[in-house]
């Protein structure tokens, strides 16, 4: 409401204009939620099919739409909308996004090392994989330096939110699936063709440790 009033005042409007601006801001927020839900619900569904998230998220209706994931997404977003400081919520959620982005960028070169001879529809140039790995650390540095400008504790909150996925995965993998990934996921990734040789060795663990040190060091610089 404060933002709507400021925007109305900036164009010389009164209460009517402020209410119109407020309604537009609410609709814009709902549109952003609907846009993100269309992609994130499908992500939740696929993660469930692949054995990462609880099985109920893999339910679909007769049209193939991931209804269980969509209802879960909607409920969670409604809960977030009840929080007063939504800028803080967005900033904390972006911490989780940067972490996911870091893991994705480094997964590329790890996969290349572990399975260099796999047939691929497209093989990214090595220099592109290397650049992605370097820039992933730049992202972490920016996160460590700037996360808390949105409020004290933003970085820690985002890290705690990211860690919540661990008990969720453990429940699915070790309780529901008894420690085995679904065969459909293994077939989709051709994991059965893997001889089990991990050429990357200790490098993935070193990358994770280096990432944590970068975040910690950069955060200490501004603490």
**pLDDT tens string 1-40:** 777 777 777 777 777 888 888 888 888 888 887 787 788 8
Q: Are the C-beta atoms of 155 and 148 separated by less than 8 Å? A: yes
Whether residue 98 sits in one domain with residue 48: no
Whether residue 109 sits in one domain with residue 186: yes
Q: Which of 131-145, 183-197, 198-212 ranks highest by mean pLDDT?
A: 131-145
Whether residue 113 sits in one domain with residue 41: no
Whether residue 170 sits in one domain with residue 71: no
Q: Give residue-wise pLDDT tens across range 63-85.
A: 888 999 999 988 887 887 787 67
Within the chain, residue ranges assigned H as helices are 2-10, 15-49, 67-81, 86-114, 126-146, 154-163, 165-170, 183-188, 203-222
Whether residue 91 sits in one domain with residue 74: no
Whether residue 50 sits in one domain with residue 5: yes
* Whole-number Å distance between alpha carbons of 146 and 43: 28
* Whole-number Å distance between alpha carbons of 11 and 17: 9
| Long-range contacts, 112-118 (Cβ 8 Å, 24+) | 113/199, 113/200, 113/203, 114/194, 114/197, 114/198, 114/199, 114/200, 115/194, 116/199, 118/190, 118/193
Whether residue 89 sits in one domain with residue 73: no
Range of the domain at 33: 1-82
Whether residue 89 sits in one domain with residue 75: no
Say which residues have a Cβ less than 8 Å from residue 168's Cβ, sequence separation at least 6. Answer: 53, 54
Whether residue 153 sits in one domain with residue 122: yes
Q: Give residue-wise pLDDT tens across range 108-140.
A: 999 888 888 887 788 889 999 999 999 999 999
Is residue 208 predicted with pLDDT exceeding 80?
Answer: yes
Residues in the chain: 223
Whether residue 189 sits in one domain with residue 123: yes
Does this model's pTM top 0.95? My answer is no
Q: Are the C-beta atoms of 159 and 95 separated by less than 8 Å? A: yes
Whether residue 58 sits in one domain with residue 90: no
Q: Pick from 82, 110, 134: which residue ends a domain?
A: 82
Task: Kindly provide the b/e burial profile for residues 87-117, where b requires at least 16 CB atoms within 10 angstroms of the residue's own CB.
Answer: ebbebbebbbebbebbeebbbbbbebebbee
59 CA to centre of own chain: 21
SS3 127: helix
């Amino acid at each position: 409401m404060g933002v709507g009033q400021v925007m109305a005042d900036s164009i010389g409007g009164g209460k009517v204009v402020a209410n119109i601006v407020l309604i537009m801001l609410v609709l814009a927020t709902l549109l952003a939620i609907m846009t993100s839900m269309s992609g994130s619900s499908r992500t939740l569904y696929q993660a469930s099919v692949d054995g990462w998230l609880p099985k109920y998220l893999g339910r679909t209706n007769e049209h193939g739409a991931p209804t269980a994931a969509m209802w879960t997404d909607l409920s969670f977003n409604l809960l977030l909308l009840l929080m007063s400081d939504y800028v803080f919520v967005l900033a904390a959620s972006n911490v989780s996004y940067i972490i996911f982005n870091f893991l994705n960028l480094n997964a590329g070169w790890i996969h290349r090392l572990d399975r260099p001879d796999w047939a691929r529809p497209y093989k990214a140039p090595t220099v592109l994989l290397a650049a992605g790995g370097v820039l992933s650390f730049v992202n972490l540095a920016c996160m460590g330096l700037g996360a808390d400008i949105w409020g004290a504790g933003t970085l820690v909150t985002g890290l705690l939110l990211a860690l919540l996925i661990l008990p969720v995965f453990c429940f699915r993998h070790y309780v529901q699936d008894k420690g085995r990934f679904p065969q459909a996921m293994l077939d989709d990734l051709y994991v059965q063709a893997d001889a089990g040789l991990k050429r990357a060795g200790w490098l993935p663990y070193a990358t994770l440790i280096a990432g944590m040190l970068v975040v910690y060091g950069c955060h200490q610089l501004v603490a």
